[in-house]
Amino acid sequence: MRYLGQEEARALDVELFSKYQFSVEQLMELAGLSVAVAVARCFPARTHPRVLTVCGPGNNGGDGLVAARHLAHFGYESTVWCARRPLSPLHERLLAQCVQSGVREESTPPPTPRDSYDHIVDALFGFSFRPPVREELRPALRLLIESDLPTSSVDIPSGWDVEHGPPMDIADALQPALLVSLSAPKLCARPELIGNALHFLGGRFVPPELAARMQLALPSYPEQEQVVRLA
């Protein structure tokens, strides 16, 4: 299996949406579903019923909104917090779908997440993130880092360099309990960087021809599963 750099990850995305003619909403639906499935495998609703999904302004946040909706269908008390306003039209629609599917919305960041939640989904930054963190999103990242709750990161642990991994200052480094790589893992998901985090791959939609051409050497998904466990 190969780990992608930021430019390769971008190129893969561009191809899916141009040459392969997928729409963002289609792939976001499958990506978000696979995140919800991996979360439910690792932190079942039975033991971790209250889940907060922290959503950023980009596609990673969109994946998070989709995941939060599927988590509600899976029986969780699912809550979302959108860390930046105003929302894009796509995020507005995804949030409306959430709320109307029984997901609760927090309008302000919960001061002590541990009092109200059992688990956090980090959908703040994706593979296009470049440090430094913008001022307005720092409170969201701090919440993730300081929550003291098991955290599942969507594609990239937020605040990490997509290629080089966690920031030097350990106090600024989110340590996810679960990482769900989407399409193909990025360089920061290498075992020596994620340590003993659980690691799943989701987003089972990469055409075999594209995977071969980009030499992704993706692992085989079992049967009809939307996720495959990597570590």
Q: Where do contacts with a copy of itself occur on this chain (CB under 8 A)?
A: 19-23, 25-26, 29-30, 33, 36-37, 40-41, 73-74, 93, 96-97, 100-102, 204-205, 207-210, 221, 223-224
Nearer to a copy of itself by C-beta: 36 or 137? 36
How far is Cα 155 from Cα 21, in angstroms, rounded to an integer? Answer: 22
User: Is residue 127 part of an annotated ligand binding site?
Assistant: yes
Phi, psi angle pair for 10, to nearest 5°: -65, -45
How far is Cα 99 from Cα 68, in angstroms, rounded to an integer? Answer: 10
Q: Dihedral, CA atoms, 153, 159, 165, 170, nearest 10 degrees?
A: -110
Q: How far is the CB of 21 from a copy of itself (least distance, A)?
A: 5
Q: How far is the CB of 114 from a copy of itself (least distance, A)?
A: 26
Nearer to a copy of itself by C-beta: 50 or 221? 221
Q: How far is the CB of 129 from a copy of itself (least distance, A)?
A: 25
How far is Cα 4 from Cα 211, in angstroms, rounded to an integer? Answer: 12
Nearer to a copy of itself by C-beta: 25 or 148? 25
Nearer to a copy of itself by C-beta: 22 or 110? 22
User: Is residue 172 part of an annotated ligand binding site?
Assistant: no
How far is Cα 124 from Cα 102, in angstroms, rounded to an integer? Answer: 22
User: Is residue 125 part of an annotated ligand binding site?
Assistant: no
Annotated binding site for (6S)-NADPHX: 59-63, 126-132, 155
